[in-house]
Amino acid sequence: MVSPEFMQILEQSAHEILLWVGFGTLVGLAAKAIMPGRDPGGAVATLMMGIAGCIIGCGVIMFFIEGAQVTPISIPGFLAGTAGAFVLLFFYRLLSGSFFVESERHDGWAHQLRRRRRRRAIARDL
């Protein structure tokens, strides 16, 4: 038979996991709404970014403010989590190169013109 203490620990663990997943999703969506431009990733990436943002944001608050107990369900925790997810999204975009757009696109008219000139030069050489 399973002890009641074990069942209580199991229920609390399930509650904590659902809490972090739920607020992680909200935090990830808030960070993606704040950041302008096209967002990489789908629903799972938003969820993971939100959970990691909550961990980073709440962890930073607890590190710098002595004795602070911050959870993502509180307003300071939600704001800190959103800031953490925003920072993660910013660095992801920065490192993936989606912030910096090249001056010429490969499917633009300049690329088409260069390709046409190359074809004419090849045809003349034959």
Over the range 101-110, which residues count as b (16 or more CB within 10 Å of their CB) and which as e?
eeeeeeeeee
Using a pLDDT cut of 70, give the percent of the chain over it. 85
Which pLDDT tens digit goes with each residue over 100-115? 555 545 556 666 667 7
Following CA atoms 70, 73, 78, 82 in sequence, which dihedral angle do they give, to the nearest 10 degrees? 110
pLDDT tens-digit series, residues 43-79: 788 888 888 988 888 888 888 888 888 877 888 888 8
